[in-house]
Amino acid sequence: MRITRRHLIPLGSAAILAVPAAAHAVVAPPPAPVLVPVPPVVAAGSGLGWTPVTFAPGLTGPGYRVDLASPTAPALGADLAGAGTSSFAVPGTAVDGATYTLSVRATANEASSTAAASTPFLYDARPPTGTVRIDAGAPYTTGLTVTLHFAATDPTPGAGEVGAIDFTEGDFPCADPLACHRSYVTGVQKYLAAGPDGIRTISARFYDTAVRAGKGPSEVDGNVSQIVTDTIFLDRRAPTARLTASAAAVAPGVPVRFDSAGSIDGVEGPTDSGLSDEMEWDFGDGATATGATATHAWASAGVRTVTLRVRDRAGLAGTATTTVTVGTPGATAALPRVTGLRVLGAPRAGTPMRVGIRMRGRGVVTLRLLPSGRAAALRTVRRAAGPGHVTMTLRAPRAGHYRLRATAGGHTMTIPVVVQPPVRAVTPR
């Protein structure tokens, strides 16, 4: 304090220093903070709070001293400046599973308050772990309604309990957060979104029952797990069955061969599950068979209905039928059949090729010219003919080796054919 003449008061022959009355005033220390109740188990990312105190006008450097004490872990603390400070973020160095007690003192340069202490709390920094399965892990579904199965655990020490779950179709964030978040359950029905068939994905994450103290209004409690997913293939299109028979009419005891070639699962491709190996044949007389092809003979005469049922991997089925007329013994003599096949003349490239066919009975005969070693026909001619000798014509391709195949009544005959080069014109001299 600067001493001036007005502070010197004469007293006899001496002078004494007068001290202002204000220098004798004592400023009251700040009051103790009022803590926000601390939950029994505190999650990572929590902020521990208190109500800011009112500091006296004469106090300078207002702030707070925060300490976290533990009987099993190193103490943590910090000095926080500012009269309005009202929370302390639990440091990342806090030990998971340790028990802490929070104490807070209001401080100033001149004085500090008594400490306000919380009840002990457990610090839980580890999230739960879990899985999600759609329809118990089934690879396919034929409808939009599925059942979700959840399994989750929370490690101890800590909350030791799973309290909530988020799940959504596709990826997070949820399109509807309110519908996405709910209390933890082990199973719930879910309606898949409308849309095309194909792979659908369910995502889930789990929360333990630790409390994230000081959370905002849009936050959820607890430590949250990593996101887990499961997929299922949605297939609502039944397959299409197709069958062919080697003959439409036979005598009793004569076998007929059936083939399921051409059957497809809807449109095929990535939006279908694909045909399974479950192909079933019903021959109309109580006999059945399985497989892509089947052969059957009937013991008695009659018109038999043959049914093929194919399934896709999702379990949907499609059927196709055909009829076979089973005649009396000896009826095969009336069935059309190729009994002879030959090429008339020496065929040359680019010219008509005449083919002689001998038929037993009358029916539709199909004549095909195939490249050697290949199944696809280069030329095909079909007509009703017989009985007896029939002549059919098709255009010869370029020179080379081929196969000539004639089919009638489910019976086939094949012969080799050599097509000669075309005749070159001779220019007169």
Give me the CATH code for the 336-419 domain, please: 2.60.40.1930
Bridge pairing between strands 256-259 and 244-245 = antiparallel
DSSP structure class, residue 77: E
Would you state the pLDDT for residue 49? Answer: 96
Q: What is the mean pLDDT of the chain?
A: 88
On the question of pLDDT at 104 being above 50, the answer is: yes
Percent of the chain, pLDDT > 70?
A: 89
| Higher-pLDDT residue of 50, 330 | 50
Would you state the pLDDT for residue 92? Answer: 92
Task: Compute CA distances 376 → 47, 145, 373, whole Å.
Answer: 77, 46, 10
Averaged pLDDT, 60-74: 96
pLDDT (tens digit, 9 = 90+) per residue, 334-354? Answer: 568 888 999 999 999 889 999
What CA–CA distance (Å, rounded) separates 339 from 344? Answer: 16
What CA–CA distance (Å, rounded) separates 134 from 149? Answer: 6
Q: What is the pTM of this model?
A: 0.66
What CA–CA distance (Å, rounded) separates 82 from 258? Answer: 90
At 9 the three-state DSSP class reads strand
Would you state the pLDDT for residue 427? Answer: 59
Task: Average the pLDDT over each of 125-129, 162-166, 409-413 and give the range with the smallest value.
Answer: 409-413
Averaged pLDDT, 396-404: 90
Q: Is 267 exposed, middle or buried (0-12, 13-18, 19+ CB in 10 A)?
A: exposed
The residues, any chain, with a CB within 8 Å of residue 97's CB and separated by 6 or more, are 122, 123, 124, 156, 157, 158
Q: Which CATH number does the domain 244-332 belong to among 2.60.120.620, 2.60.40.10, 3.20.20.140, 2.40.240.20? A: 2.60.40.10
pLDDT (tens digit, 9 = 90+) per residue, 263-284? Answer: 998 776 678 888 998 899 999 9
N- to C-terminal Cα distance for the chain? Answer: 144
Task: Compute CA distances 277 → 202, 268, 291, 309, 312, whole Å.
Answer: 29, 15, 7, 11, 8
CB 126 within 8 A of CB 158: yes
User: 244-332 with 336-419: one CATH topology?
Assistant: yes
The residues, any chain, with a CB within 8 Å of residue 243's CB and separated by 6 or more, are 258, 259, 260, 263, 306, 308, 320, 321, 322
What CA–CA distance (Å, rounded) separates 72 from 98? Answer: 6
The pLDDT-based confidence of 43 (bands split at 50, 70, 90) is very high
What CA–CA distance (Å, rounded) separates 80 from 78? Answer: 6
CB 103 within 8 A of CB 67: yes
Bridge pairing between strands 337-344 and 352-360 = antiparallel
Give me the CATH code for the 34-124 domain, please: 2.60.40.10
User: Closest by alpha carbon to 96, among 48, 161, 42, 36?
Assistant: 42
- Domain positions in the chain are 34-124, 129-234, 244-332, 336-419
The pLDDT-based confidence of 2 (bands split at 50, 70, 90) is very low
- CATH 2.60.40.10 fits domain 129-234: yes
The pLDDT-based confidence of 28 (bands split at 50, 70, 90) is confident
The pLDDT-based confidence of 217 (bands split at 50, 70, 90) is low
Would you state the pLDDT for residue 9? Answer: 38
Task: Compute CA distances 236 → 45, 196, 314, 317, whole Å.
Answer: 46, 9, 8, 11
Cα Rg of the chain, angstroms: 47
The pLDDT-based confidence of 360 (bands split at 50, 70, 90) is confident
